[in-house]
Amino acid sequence: MSKRRYVAVYTDSDLLVGCDHKHNTILSAVACITAPGGYVVAVRRGKYLSLTDAEDAEFQQLRYGHAELTKRHNPDFNVLVRVPVKPL
Ligand SMILES: [Zn+2]
């Protein structure tokens, strides 16, 4: 089983743009966020994955100073979009 890594992402013109790194920690990926609304996703075997609840809580704490989950309480649906990533 490969280890989960993390990527800082943001959207631009309906594209999901990720940094070129594979961060070992959420903290490192958060520090790499350069755009408003930036987020962190997990990466495993070349595929973007949603953060787990624990990972999202860590992201919220690091990014916003509180551990409240965002839009994850009783979701109506979940969507994971796979799109080509353009170079920075
Ligand atoms: Zn990065």
For residue range 47-84, what is the model confidence (pLDDT) as tens digits? 999 999 999 999 999 998 877 655 555 555 556 666 77
How many angstroms does the Cα of residue 23 sit away from the middle of ligand 1?
A: 6
Mean pLDDT of the chain: 84
Let me know if residue 13 belongs to a domain.
Answer: yes
What's the pLDDT score for residue 13? Answer: 87
Q: Is residue 11 in some structural domain?
A: yes
What pLDDT was estimated at residue 46? 86
For residue 43, count CB atoms less than 10 angstroms from its CB and return exposed for 0-12, middle for 13-18, buried for 19 or more.
buried
The answer to whether position 25 is within a domain reads: yes
Contacts of residue 46, Cβ cutoff 8 Å, sequence gap at least 6: none
**What range does the domain containing 31 cover?**
5-64
Q: Strand (E) positions, the chain?
A: 5-12, 15-18, 39-44, 47-49
> How many structural domains does the chain have?
1
Confidence grade of residue 6 (pLDDT, cut at 50, 70, 90): very high
CA of 42 to the centre of ligand 1 (A): 12
Q: Give the distance (Å) from ligand 1 centre to CA of residue 73.
A: 28
Q: How confident is the model at residue 25 (pLDDT cuts 50, 70, 90)?
A: very high
Tell me the whole-structure pTM to 2 decimals: 0.71
